[in-house]
C-alpha cells in the first residue's frame, strides 16, 4: 500500500494565532491524502474557525499550553485508534506536506523520524546563538542515540505507534520540550530515533510568537533541561547497575 493512503496516519498541527496560514496548510496536507488534526492552543484570533472550515478536525484548548502541550493533546487524540502513526507539522507553512511521505518511509526501522533542514536538502539557514545552541544540542543527542541528528529542534517529525503512546503520556508542555526533551524521553523508553533530510521554508505568513531574544532564552533553557535530564539518566543507570551487582 502506498504510504499516502495509510488510514492510520494523523497529521497533528499545533497552532497558536495562525489564522493567516492554517487554511493552506490544512489543504496541502489533505492533498497528500492524510487526515489533519489542528490543535488550537488557546489562540486569540480565528485559527480554530478557519481550520474547521478548511476541513480539519480541531481540538480547541481552552488556554495556551505551549507547543509541547498542544502536540501531546494531538497525540493523545491520535492514540485512541489502534496502531496510530502521527506526524507533527507546523501551522505556519514552514513544513512542506510533500515531505511527509519521506518521514513515514523512514519509520520502517525507527520510532521517531526527525525532518532535518540541515542534512543537505533545501537552503534553510540558522545563525548566531540559535545556530550554536542547535549544534550543541545536536551533538549531545547524536551521541545519546548513536546516530547523526543534525536538527534536534525541528518540529517536523513522524512517530510510530509506540512513540505515540509514550509521548501522549510523557511529553512536557513547554516550547522546545516537544522537540529536544522528546528525545530524552525516547532514550528512557528505548525508542529508536533517526532523521531524514527535508526542505523547509520560512514561515509563510503571520508572526512567530517568540522573537530572537525569546528564542535564545528558550534554547538556553532547553540546554539546561537536557543537562539535568542527562544527569538523571546517568544516575538511574548507575543505580540500576548497583542494584544488579547487589543481587
Ligand atoms: N511559539 C508557539 N507556538 C505554538 C504554541 N502553541 C502552538 N504553537 C505552534 O507550534 C508551531 C511552531 O511555532 P513557531 O512559532 O512557528 O516556532 P518555530 O517554527 O520554532 O520558529 P520560526 O522558525 O520562527 O517559525 C507553530 O505551528 C505554532 O502555531 C505556543 O504556545 N507558542
Ligand atoms: Mg515555525
Nearest CA among 17, 29, 101 for reference residue 67: 17
CATH number (3.30.2320.50, 2.30.40.10, 3.40.50.720, 3.90.550.10) of 3-246 reads: 3.90.550.10
Over residues 159-175, the pLDDT tens digits come to 999 999 999 999 988 77
Contact residues for 225 (Cβ-Cβ < 8 A; gap 6+): 177, 180, 181
Higher pLDDT, 103 or 206: 103
* Among 177, 197, 184, 169, residue whose Cα is nearest residue 113: 197
Q: Does residue 121's CB lie within 6 angstroms of at least one atom of ligand 1? A: no
For range 49-63, the mean pLDDT? 97
In this predicted model, what pLDDT tens digit does every residue of 219-244 receive, in sequence order? 777 777 888 788 777 777 777 777 76
- Cell matching residue 19: 489564522
Mutate to test the pocket of ligand 1, among 51, 87, 209 (most ligand atoms within 8 A of CB): 209
Q: What is the 3-state secondary structure (H, E, C) of 71-98?
A: HHHHHHHHCCCCCCEEEECCCCCCCCHH
CA 246 / ligand 2 centre spacing (Å): 50
pLDDT at 55 over 90: yes
What is the grid cell recorded at 227? 543537562
Cβ partners under 8 Å of residue 232, min gap 6: none
Nearest ligand to residue 88 Cα: 1
Amino acid at each position: 500500500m502506498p504510504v499516502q493512503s495509510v488510514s492510520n496516519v494523523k497529521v497533528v498541527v499545533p497552532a497558536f494565532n495562525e489564522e493567516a496560514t492554517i487554511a493552506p496548510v490544512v489543504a496541502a496536507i489533505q492533498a497528500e491524502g492524510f487526515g489533519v488534526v489542528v490543535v488550537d492552543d488557546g489562540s486569540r484570533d480565528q485559527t480554530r474557525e478557519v481550520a474547521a472550515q478548511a476541513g480539519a478536525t480541531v481540538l480547541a484548548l481552552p488556554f495556551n499550553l505551549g507547543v509541547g502541550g498542544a502536540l501531546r493533546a494531538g497525540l493523545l487524540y491520535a492514540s485512541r485508534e489502534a496502531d496510530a502513526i502521527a506526524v507533527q507539522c507546523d501551522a505556519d507553512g514552514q513544513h512542506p506536506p510533500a515531505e511527509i511521505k519521506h518521514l513515514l518511509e523512514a519509520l520502517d526501522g525507527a520510532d521517531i523520524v526527525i525532518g532535518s533542514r540541515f542534512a543537505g536538502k533545501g537552503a534553510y539557514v540558522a545563525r548566531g546563538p540559535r545556530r550554536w545552541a542547535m549544534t550543541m544540542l545536536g551533538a549531545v543527542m547524536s551521541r545519546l542515540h548513536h546516530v547523526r541528528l543534525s536538527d534536534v529542534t525541528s518540529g517536523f517529525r513522524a512517530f510510530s505507534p509506540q512513540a505515540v503512546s509514550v509521548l501522549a503520556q510523557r511529553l512536557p508542555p513547554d516550547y522546545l520540550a516537544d522537540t529536544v526533551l522528546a528525545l530524552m524521553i525516547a532514550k528512557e523508553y528505548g525508542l529508536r530515533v533517526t532523521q531524514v533530510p527535508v526542505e523547509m521554508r520560512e514561515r509563510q505568513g503571520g508572526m512567530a510568537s517568540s522573537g530572537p531574544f525569546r528564542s535564545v532564552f528558550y534554547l538556553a533553557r532547553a540546554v539546561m533541561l537536557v543537562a539535568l535530564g542527562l544527569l538523571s539518566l546517568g544516575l538511574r543507570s548507575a543505580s540500576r547497575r548497583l542494584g544488579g551487582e547487589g543481587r
